[in-house]
Amino acid sequence: MGGVEAIAPYAKHFGRPIDAVGRDLESYAALLKKWQAVQNLVSRETLGSVWERHFADSLQVLPLLTERDRVFMDLGSGGGFPALPLAIASKGLDRHFVLVEPTARKVSFLRTVARELNLNVTVIGRRSDEIDSRETPEPDVITSRALTALPLLCDWMEPFFVRKTRAILHKGREHVDELNDSSAHWHYDVVVNKSDTDPGGVILTITNLKRKSVS
């Protein structure tokens, strides 16, 4: 399964017809392959299955969103997943995506895709711990995919968390250990959903994130 067939299960959550989303994703895939030659954006073995491994994997977040979700922050955006496919699918909806990525060449790639596809995206070329949370709008949703283990990710997310914020995170087989490790230092509520695209993966939805006080 490839092309629009791979993203069809999420089409009812798109802000416009699936054919229009598919055309933008085709343009994104072409840019990804072009830039991959000078910047490692995705693992080489997944480049040939970008629709399933990257686009569908990113878009499985859509059913977890609500109409109230307007501001998104993506940490460690890299090649743009999951944020850019979500931004492409969300054209026609009132959603803004803030992508945080410190690597200069990846920042250039992300800005190129956002510009050429006319996406409602802002790219910040710094690490998250270099950003004052007052510089950015309060996020409704924080996303991250294949960035770092959950205990450290909680540390990076916490400055941006407000009462309304929830994190929707792609995690792999190690998620149980990561949840156990993070519980030593963090309070949060979590919902675990099985990944549609990775047999060992999950999507974690985290709310009410707070650092545990040191006794």
Chain segment 91-116, per-residue pLDDT in tens: 999 999 999 999 999 999 999 999 99
- In the three-class reduction of DSSP (H, G, I as helix; E, B as strand; rest coil), residue 12 is classed as helix
Other beta carbons less than 10 A from residue 183's beta carbon = 14
Residue 135 has pLDDT above 80, yes or no: yes
The pLDDT, as a whole number, for residue 88 is 98
Q: State how far the Cα of 84 lies from the Cα of 54, in Å rounded to an integer.
A: 10
Q: Euclidean distance between the first and final Cα of the chain, in Å?
A: 53
Widest distance between CA atoms in the chain: 56
The per-residue DSSP string of 97-166 comes to EEEE---HHHHHHHHHHHHHTT-SEEEE-S-GGGS-GGGSPPPSEEEEESSS-HHHHHHHHGGG--TT-E
Say which range, 7-21, 31-45, 48-62, has the weakest mean pLDDT: 31-45
Please check whether residue 56 is in contact with residue 19, taking contact to mean a CB–CB distance below 8 angstroms: no
Residue 132 has pLDDT above 80, yes or no: yes
The pLDDT, as a whole number, for residue 46 is 63
Residue 44 has pLDDT above 90, yes or no: no
Element (H, E) at 176: helix 175-182
Residue 39 has pLDDT above 80, yes or no: no
> Would you say how long the chain is, in residues?
215
Residue 147 pLDDT grade (very low, low, confident, very high; cuts 50, 70, 90): confident
Element (H, E) at 206: strand 202-211
Average pLDDT over residues 113-138: 94
Other beta carbons less than 10 A from residue 125's beta carbon = 16
Average pLDDT over residues 9-34: 95
Q: State how far the Cα of 7 lies from the Cα of 18, in Å rounded to an integer.
A: 8
Q: State how far the Cα of 163 lies from the Cα of 5, in Å rounded to an integer.
A: 37
The CATH fold assigned to 4-211 is Rossmann fold (3.40.50)
Domain regions of the chain by residue span: 4-211
What percent of the chain clears pLDDT 70, i.e. is strictly above it?
95
